[in-house]
Structures are given as C-alpha cells and as structure tokens.
Amino acid sequence: MAQTAQQDMPESEEAAGPHILVVEDNPVMASIMGKLLSRFEARFDVVANGLEAIDAAKEAEYDLILMDILMPTLGGVRSTKAIRKLSAHYEKIPIIAVTARVSERAEEEYLSEGMSGMIKKPINRVNLSEALRDHLGLEEHIPTPATDDTSAVHDTDDLDALNWEVFNEYRTLLSGSFMGFLKDYLTAGPNMLSDIGDAITADDAPRIQFLAHKLKSTAQVFGAESVADLAAQLEIMGKNNATAPAPQIFHELHIAYERTQRALRKKYILMQNMG
C-alpha cells in the first residue's frame, strides 16, 4: 500500500495539487524525493517496488508517476507496462523513468516501452523541476536554501573524488538526518563491498545484481558517482547473467570506493567538528 509519508519525509497535503506516485526502493533516495516534492503544490505517495506501484495505481488515480527503473522485485519497465493496462486513465498519464542509465538511446528505449520521459539519478531540484513543469505545469514554490562551500575539504584529490554539488544539495534536503545516513554508509560500506566480491567469486548473478543495486543507490546520495556508475555496471551484468567481466569491474570499483570513502570520512569529521 502506498504511504503518503514515511519517517523523515514531509507529509503532502491531501487537498493540494496533482497526485504523484514515487516508486523508489532506496529509503534515503525516497526521503530525498519527498523533500524535493514538498517544494511543489502537489500530493505524493511513496512505494518501495513495482508490485506496490501496481497496487497503489489500482487504489488511486495518480496524475504522474516517478518510476525507478532497476528494482529487485519488479523493474520499472515491466511495472509501467502493467500500470498502462489498468485503465484509460493510466494509458495517458506521464510515467517518468528515474535512472542512472542516461543516454539518447536509453531514453528512446524507455519511450518505446510506454514511458513519457526520463530523469537522471541522483535526482535533484533542477531535473525534477523541469519534469514537473513539462508534464504537469508545476513550478517550485519554496526557494532552495544556499548550500555550504566545499573549500573546507582538504585537498584537490578529495574535491575531484565526489560530486560535491550533489553532496551539499542532499545534505541540505535531509538536514538533521544526513549525518546519520552518512555514518551508516561509512560503517556499512566495507561489508557491502566485501559481499559483492563474495558474490562475484561464487558467480551468483542474482546476488550480484541485488548487492550492486544497493551500493549504487546509496553511493548516489553522497555524490560518489564513480562508485555508483561501476556498481550499476555490475548490477546490469547480474541482471543479464553475463558476469565474465565482473572481476575486472569489481577491481575498479574497489579503487573508486576507497578514494570516495577517504573524502567522505574527512568531510564527516569536519562536519562533526563544526557541530
């Protein structure tokens, strides 16, 4: 069942504007999308996978759906096709692919599968605003506060390791929750990486897909784009059961992970010291 509000997520007003469904299996990203949507005159519900999205669409008539593409339970493309068949209403509404896989070819594929457009992950104020303006005529009504300067990070290598614009935007959106999410990522990251390595050694394609998806979704929140991109490659290999290149990609992932973790640890300590 769809949830109008989740923990640490702003609640949408029942009477305000179009009704939007967010389909996102990563709770941190779902929280971020909720914070972004709270800047618009719109109601929104959140579900965690494609099956829940289909059930939610049976219960309510949404005006737009933000659909994650790669989800363990049921992917976004198959979910979209099922929702399109529910009613004449769902044949017409915009269903937007939310994905890290961005290219003209990918967008053409999604459009051919019945989707209405595409937003690049990690989703942000700019690309969400553009989609809501194009498809619903909505404009952002709450100004975005300024983010902090990245100059306090220690060296040039650190500055290059992460997308600090994404980091700072999500830090602002998540406010008091951000430090806890970052600490959890720093603590759990080594085990996540080790588990992926074990799955590759065992040539367990479904587990590679699941674990790589989890790492990718979390890394995106903290601007670790190199980690997210490599994890996405492993996720697709697992999904397609084509894992021969996985050991080499995992080697590259390990290097990217260590570099981004070093930068994130420095930033975490700095933020702690600043209170």
Q: Is 83 in the same domain as 127?
A: yes
Q: What are the two backbone dihedrals, phi and then psi, of residue 19, each rounded to the nearest 5 degrees?
A: -105, 120
* pLDDT score recorded for residue 129: 93
Min mean pLDDT across 66-80, 97-111, 119-133 is at: 97-111
* pLDDT score recorded for residue 150: 43
Q: What are the two backbone dihedrals, phi and then psi, of residue 20, each rounded to the nearest 5 degrees?
A: -115, 140
Q: Is 1 a domain residue?
A: no
Q: Is 130 in the same domain as 26?
A: yes
Q: Is 161 a domain residue?
A: yes
Which of 136, 164, 192 finishes a domain? 136
> Residue 54: CB partners within 8 Å, gap ≥ 6?
74, 79, 82, 83, 86
* pLDDT score recorded for residue 142: 66
59 or 126, which is more confident? 59
For residues 123-141, give the mean pLDDT: 90
Which of 136, 171, 187 finishes a domain? 136
Eight-class DSSP state of 175: G
**What is the average pLDDT value for the chain, to the nearest integer?**
86
Q: For residue 71, name the pLDDT band (cuts at 50, 70, 90).
A: confident
143-188 confidence digits (pLDDT tens): 555 444 444 444 445 557 898 888 988 898 888 889 999 999 999 9
Q: Is 123 in the same domain as 54?
A: yes
214-245 confidence digits (pLDDT tens): 899 889 889 998 999 999 899 999 989 999 99
Q: Is 122 in the same domain as 157?
A: no
What percentage of the chain has pLDDT greater than the value 70? 87
Q: What is the CATH number of the domain that holds 66?
A: 3.40.50.2300
Q: Is 213 in the same domain as 176?
A: yes
Q: Is 96 a domain residue?
A: yes
Q: Is 240 a domain residue?
A: yes
Q: Is 8 a domain residue?
A: no
Q: Is 159 in the same domain as 232?
A: yes
Q: Is 12 a domain residue?
A: no
* pLDDT score recorded for residue 156: 46
Number of helices followed by number of strands (H, E) in the chain: 12, 5
Q: What is the CATH number of the domain that holds 254?
A: 1.20.120.160
Domain of residue 127: give its range: 19-136
* pLDDT score recorded for residue 1: 56
pTM of the model: 0.74
Q: Quick one: tokens of 86?
A: 């529910």
Q: For residue 87, name the pLDDT band (cuts at 50, 70, 90).
A: very high
As a whole number of angstroms, the distance between CA 44 and CA 50 comes to 16
Q: Is 154 in the same domain as 107?
A: no
Q: Is 130 in the same domain as 49?
A: yes
* pLDDT score recorded for residue 249: 95
Q: For residue 137, name the pLDDT band (cuts at 50, 70, 90).
A: very high
Which of 101, 136, 171 finishes a domain? 136
16 or 171, which is more confident? 171
Q: Is 63 in the same domain as 120?
A: yes
Q: Is 127 a domain residue?
A: yes
Q: Is 156 in the same domain as 258?
A: yes
Total count of domains within the chain:
2
Q: Is 143 a domain residue?
A: no
Q: For residue 273, name the pLDDT band (cuts at 50, 70, 90).
A: confident
Q: Is 132 in the same domain as 168?
A: no
What percentage of the chain has pLDDT greater than the value 90? 58
The radius of gyration computed from the CA coordinates of the chain, to the nearest angstrom, equals 19
Q: Is 154 in the same domain as 241?
A: yes
